[in-house]
Amino acid sequence: MKPERYDEIKEKYPQLNLAVVGDFCLDRYLEINPTLKERSIETGLPVNNVTNIRAQPGGAGTVAANLGKLGVGNIEAIGFCGDDGEGFELKRALNNISGINLSNFFSSKRRKTFTYCKPLVITRNRYRELSRLDTKNWTPTPGNLSHRLAQAVKSLHRNIDAIIVLEQSDKAETGVVTEAVRDQLEALSMEREEIPIIVDSRDSLRKYPQLSYKMNEAELKSFLNKDKDMDIKTIQFATSELAVQHGKPIFVTLGKRGIVSSDGYGKTNHIPALQASKSIDIVGAGYSVTANLAASLAAGATVYEASLIAMAAANYAIHQLGTTGAATPHDIRKKLEQISTIK
């Protein structure tokens, strides 16, 4: 893959119309200065003094942020938040994403905003994350909200170039991707067979129709009911078999071992991960992979090219410490130039 080829792909991003369907979360970072030591007068317990608060989109919001950084022209956000302060913060953060459309992003009094509150102890630009404080929904998504989400997906068939489905909830039917939404995704995939629909689920991919799956090694083992670790050849065979069965590309990320992908016709690739420095933060790497796979495939990249681009984007993301990084095309091109296949 020559640099000029990547330029051809990224030049199409501003004309793309992509949809992100899934669980949009709020990532709230509490920056703690450990030198400001106090104890509570009432309890005698140590006090963590927060000197700065950052709020940014998480989950499906991170995917959307990555697409915005890539310069994708229109990003349709399909999801919900609670009618609460966290929801206000989330919508404000989402509105900062270039190209995003929130006309199908709903607020509900019967839902909480999915929030990851992350206390960070900062010492000389080093970040140490304390135990998170998470806010999730534990009850089923209300039927009327599920119906509105499904109808929003149904409306995508006219002019969409690719769809990313991200299920961050690990308790079925409590988030955006309900059975009604999955039914509409299946109908859309049958009507528009040519468009990439990439699904990433923390719950289970087994309940999804035969779409393009993006999973990590643990999720692949769970999908195959395997307990033992698998070598690259075994992963390649399983990925190829699943892709041929679906007739769709399948992607399996392997952390330090890179990514295995198959194009749906039996052609399978293994691309090793780019070299990383000692100080990395893996949060956000998977979202970066998903966003870049969808954008590049929609722009005409092959499965191999999309996988290569995704590995470059992930390498950039893991070197962004204390935040969930998103790479620009310029950042990705610089990373691609480090790969021996690009001279």
CA distance 49 to 96: 28
Does residue 295 surpass a pLDDT of 60? yes
Burial (CB count <10 Å: 0-12, 13-18, 19+), residue 54:
middle
Tell me whether residue 59 is in a domain. yes
Tell me whether residue 341 is in a domain. no
Confidence of residue 24 (pLDDT cuts 50, 70, 90): very high
Does residue 270 surpass a pLDDT of 70? yes
List CB contacts of 42: < 8 A, sequence separation 6 or more.
none
The fraction of the chain above a pLDDT of 90, given in percent, is 78
Number of domains present in the structure of the chain? 1
Query: What pLDDT, on a 0 to 100 scale, did the predictor assign at position 159?
Result: 86
Among 92-106, 262-276, 302-316, the range scoring the smallest mean pLDDT is 262-276
Query: In the block, which residue shows the tokens 């195959």?
Result: 224
Query: In the block, which residue shows the tokens 């919508």?
Result: 91
Closest among 171, 170, 174, 200 to 185, alpha carbons compared = 200
Q: Provide mean pLDDT across the span 277-294.
A: 75
Regarding predicted confidence, which is higher, 159 or 304? 304
Give the range of the structural domain holding residue 208, as residue numbers without chain letter.
Answer: 3-336
Facing residues of 17 across strands?
A: 74
Q: Is the dihedral of CA 129, 289, 10, 158 positive or negative?
A: negative
pLDDT digits (tens, 9 = 90+) for 192-227: 999 999 999 998 899 999 999 999 999 999 999 988
Tell me whether residue 157 is in a domain. yes
Does residue 342 surpass a pLDDT of 50? no
Does residue 155 surpass a pLDDT of 90? yes
CA distance 42 to 199: 49
Tell me whether residue 199 is in a domain. yes
Tell me whether residue 343 is in a domain. no
pLDDT digits (tens, 9 = 90+) for 213-268: 999 999 999 999 988 889 999 999 999 999 999 999 999 999 889 999 999 888 99
Q: Provide mean pLDDT across the span 3-20.
A: 95
Tell me whether residue 135 is in a domain. yes
The CATH number covering residue 178 comes to 3.40.1190.20
Tell me whether residue 342 is in a domain. no
- Which tokens go with 253? 């990320």
Does residue 134 surpass a pLDDT of 80? yes
Confidence of residue 343 (pLDDT cuts 50, 70, 90): very low
